[in-house]
Chains A and B, each alone.
Chain A
Amino acid sequence: MGIQTEEMMLNMGPQHPSTHGVIRFVVKSDGEVMTEAVPDVGYLHRSIEKIGEICEYNGFMPYTDRADYLSAMNANQGYAMVVEKLLGLEIPERAEYLRVIAAELNRIISHILSLGAVAMDIGAATPFVLALKEREKVNDLMEALCGQRLTYSYVRIGGVSYDMPPGFIERSLKFLADFEPFMDEFENLVPENKIFIERTAGVGVITREDAIAYNLVGPNLRASGVDWDLRRDMTYSVYPKLQFEVPVGVGSQGVVGDSFDRFIVRIKEIKQSISLLKQCFAQIPEGDFLGEIPRVMKPAVGECYVRTESSRGDMGYYLISDGSKNAFRVRIRTGSFTSMSIIEKISRGMMLADLVTFIASLDVVAPEIDR
């Protein structure tokens, strides 16, 4: 009865325009509809964790940039915090504020790039370029702050490497003033577009239970309706002194936890970051930007785990010290890795075009998966 049909095995990646780096998906498809998409990670493994064991504590800082190059400041901050906890260092308050300013600026540009990439993968090139245009402005700010545009290594153990340059607050506030109308326009251009809604609404729905079971973190978790943000719930740095809301997916297009919700949650987080930055600029105290640090860093024997809220969610650093100048073990826990694990489950029965949307909406960054 009927014609014998066979599933087609497609190799999506490692080189593919929409895998955001070298990730490979083994897709079994029946024409446009696929039955399975199995992610195959490891193409970008650079043994960053192993390098952490042969570098001195300070020397590992530039490598944390490379672990998640789209939000290097957040990665820096997490590593600095874990070493400080191990050493029992107190850091000056101004340094904490500088770190939060840098981290929130970084969160804005990481999210705006992710939003642009979703639009790009759905087929609209303009929002992506416009997003990059705004990202460049922040990159200019970052370059003025620390001298680099992508891999900042701005944070140091015990503080930060530079104080703010003169006029930095004015420049940043001017940027934020121009950025807010841009976000309004971006919202008008992308998430209010009918085709965009049709393409993302109801695509790649992650239920609340699934999101918790698969250990999703950050915006992906919140989009599924879980009200959890480390900045508020396991607070660190100066976040307790700042007022902000945690946006949660509400299912504005019918289902909670679809790609559209993830998109909207990121937009809302950008707006929260803008308000956080304004508060920081208003509150930042005078003082040192780098505290007293020991000349040779030799923490006592022990282990330590610190979690921070990076742009892609819970970023954890686990450090074991054996009392020497180098760490005995460094382990980085990243959000993109867990995001990859859920793709296999959700993607069953999806269309090929939807898989692209789904991956983009999860905001996975290849180097963060493999490290």
Chain B
Amino acid sequence: MSSGYFNNIKEATVSLFNGFAITLSNMFRKPVTLQYPDKTPRSVTDLMPERSRSWLKVEMPICTACLNCEKACPIDCIKITTEKDPSGRVMSGFDIDMAKCMYCGLCTEPCPTGAIHFIPEFERASFSLDQMISRFVPEGEKVVPYKVPKKDKDEEKNSAKEEAEDKAAEAEPDA
């Protein structure tokens, strides 16, 4: 009984002492805070890893309008409208509702050319849901789907991807 009494005091004092030693040592450690957005060491998009799933972007020049992404999306936030045109099948709309998107990445996987992909940009909050819809085909315009050259089916994906990068570089001013 009496030993428990003094033991309690001793334990409380010792554990308090140890706790104080830890918290004080914490005060000399470098803070881990990243002062987003204005005091980051580099721009925030540079800090994001390569695979970062942030905002969806479609490289329209290489989109084949295969509708794979639309089918893969579990919440139907991708909407592609195609029309018959004298020149063939054309896309009159490619909308992604980013307000609905849950950034799962399922749409990027079945894409044959890698046209739909994530970009490490996320600072696109907006005040209206309407602005959250990314429209990749400007209204009133029509985009002719990209046709994968048939020459080497095996390297189809690779070559298409390389080409996609080239085309993406060209298309940069639009974005």
* A and B part of one assembly: yes
> Is the C-beta of A60 less than 8 angstroms from some C-beta in chain B?
yes
The reply to whether the CB of A148 lies closer than 8 angstroms to some CB of chain B is yes
Closest to B21 in A: A188
Closest chain A residue to B22 by CB distance? A189
Query: Which B residues are in CB contact (< 8 Å) with A143?
Result: 48-49, 51-52
Complex A-B: 10 CB contacts under 8 Å: A59-B73, A61-B104, A133-B32, A147-B51, A148-B53, A153-B105, A162-B51, A165-B51, A189-B23, A192-B15
In the complex, residue of chain A having the shortest beta-carbon distance to the beta carbon of B49: A144
Which A residue sits closest to B50, measured CB to CB? A165
Query: How many whole Å from A303's CB to the nearest CB in chain B?
Result: 22
CB–CB A194/B11 < 8 A: yes
Contact of B16 with A by CB under 8 A:
yes
Contact pick for B49, options A133, A165, A188, CB 8 Å = A165
* Inter-subunit contact A193/B19 (CB<8 Å): yes
Q: Which B residues fall within an 8 A CB radius of A? A: 8, 11-12, 15-16, 18-19, 22-23, 26, 32, 48-53, 72-74, 102-106, 109, 118
Contact of B12 among A146, A147, A195 (CB under 8 A): A195
- Considering only CB atoms, which chain B residue lies closest to A154 in the complex? B105
Specify the main secondary structure of chain A where it touches its partner: helix
Give chain B's interface secondary structure class. Answer: loop
Chain B residues lying within 8 Å of A133, measured Cβ to Cβ, are 32
Chain A 187-206 near chain B by CB (<8 Å), digits 1 or 0: 01100111100000000000
- Number of A residues whose C-beta is below 8 Å from B? 33
Determine the chain A residues whose CB is within 8 A of the CB of B8 once the complex forms.
Answer: 194
Shortest Cβ distance from residue A54 to the other chain B in the assembled complex, whole angstroms: 9
- Report the Cα distance A165→B48, complex, angstroms: 14
Chain A residues within 8 Å of B104, by CB = 61-62, 65, 151, 153
Among A59, A145, A147, A192, chain B packs the most CB atoms within 10 A around the CB of A147
In contact, A151 and B106 (Cβ under 8 angstroms): no
**Assembly CA distance A126 to B48 (angstroms):** 28
Look across to chain A and name the residue whose beta carbon is closest to the beta carbon of B103.
A148
Q: Are A136 and B49 in contact (CB under 8 A)?
A: no
State A276–B102 Cα separation when bound (angstroms): 31
The contact string, 1 if C-beta is below 8 Å from chain B, for chain A 211-242, is 00000000000000000000000000000000
